[in-house]
Amino acid sequence: MGRALGTFAITVGLLATPLAAEQTDRLGRAVRLNDQGRHTEARLLLDTIVREEPHNHRALWNRGLVAMEDGEHELALDWFDRALAIDGQDAEYHLWRGYAYAQKLEHSNWFKKLLIAPKIRKSFERAVELAPNHVKARRALMRYYEQAPGLLGGGRTKAREQQEEILRLEAGSGPAP
């Protein structure tokens, strides 16, 4: 496949959307613990939240983010897939699933890379489809298109289109019609 799809710079800003007050407090506490580098405590609290609230997609997603920080891309994929099963319309979930697949790709043999690459592309494309103004999703998709061969859905023309759209968004003119 030539070069790997590159390391996606992943800065985990674990942000929780407001839920019920108690859920937000516990989820917010887990996010703060993780941000403070107290990953074990954050992981344990998130595991408790998920056990008690198995349909709390924000907790599931944040648990996936913690797994990503720990370099556990397979585990992160499981958490992201669980969050997506509950809320498949969240662009961030698709974006992060794409990042997790990209990490998995970097640690795979060439045959597995052929199977994983389309999953990365589909995740990033879905994120852009759900949130056309999401610049980080468009950048991730652009990098995929730049690095993947045409056989796997990559291409310079597609990358250039994403780049142009990113420039439009950053200029504040909104998405192209």
CATH number of 88-177: 1.25.40
Neighbours of 139 (CB within 10 A): 17
pTM flag (> 0.85)? no
CATH class of 20-87: mainly alpha
Q: Judge if 20-87 and 88-177 fold alike in CATH terms.
A: yes
How high is the pLDDT of residue 22? Answer: 52
Q: CA-to-CA distance for 57 and 118, rounded, in angstroms?
A: 25
Terminus-to-terminus CA distance in the chain, angstroms? 34
**Segment 70-96, tens digit of pLDDT:** 999 999 999 999 999 999 999 999 999
Which residue ranges make up each domain of the chain? 20-87, 88-177
**Segment 43-69, tens digit of pLDDT:** 999 999 999 999 999 999 999 999 999
DSSP characters over 34-92: HHTT-HHHHHHHHHHHHHH-TT-HHHHHHHHHHHHHTT-HHHHHHHHHHHHHH-TT-HH
